[in-house]
């Protein structure tokens, strides 16, 4: 059998890690996952709100989550909002210079109080 190639056995594939071994990984099928710009924790899209820039540097809440443009995601929690504002994470995530986050801050604080 000159010239015939011998087949080598396929290497065994390691099983994918279980969610328990990863830590706080979302379970499969739980929907899209986003990262909060305040606390940097990952969570389901339904647990965060989206913030977008309109008219250049004005930030607004995207209630429906489908506005065009680049968005930043944030938990509706006081500590996440405070961290995002202290770190200037919203303008940086949206790639804006000198963005006005006062409208977003007021809207988010009102939403937090209503919960």
What are 32-54's pLDDT values in tens digits? Answer: 999 999 999 999 998 999 999 88
Which is nearest to 76 in space by CA: 36, 103, 32? 36
Ranges of the chain whose pLDDT falls below 70: 1-4, 11-29
What's the confidence (pLDDT) of residue 21?
A: 47
Do residues 73 and 61 touch, judged by C-beta distance below 8 A?
no
What's the confidence (pLDDT) of residue 1?
A: 55
CB-CB neighbours of 101 under 10 Å? 21
What's the confidence (pLDDT) of residue 104?
A: 82
Q: Cα separation of 6 and 9, whole Å?
A: 10
What's the confidence (pLDDT) of residue 39?
A: 96
What's the confidence (pLDDT) of residue 16?
A: 56
Total-model pTM: 0.69
Which is nearest to 98 in space by CA: 54, 51, 37, 56? 56
């Amino acid at each position: 059998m000159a010239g015939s190639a011998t087949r080598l056995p396929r290497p065994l594939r390691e099983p994918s890690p279980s969610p328990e071994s990863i830590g706080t990984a979302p379970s499969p099928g739980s929907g899209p996952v986003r990262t909060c710009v305040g606390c940097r924790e990952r969570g389901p899209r339904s647990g965060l709100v989206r913030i977008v820039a309109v008219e250049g540097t004005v930030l607004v809440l995207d209630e429906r989550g489908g506005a065009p443009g680049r968005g930043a995601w944030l938990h509706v929690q006081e500590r996440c909002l405070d961290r995002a504002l202290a770190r200037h994470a919203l303008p940086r995530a949206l790639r804006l210079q000198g963005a006005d986050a006062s409208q977003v801050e007021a809207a988010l604080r009102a939403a937090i109080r209503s919960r």
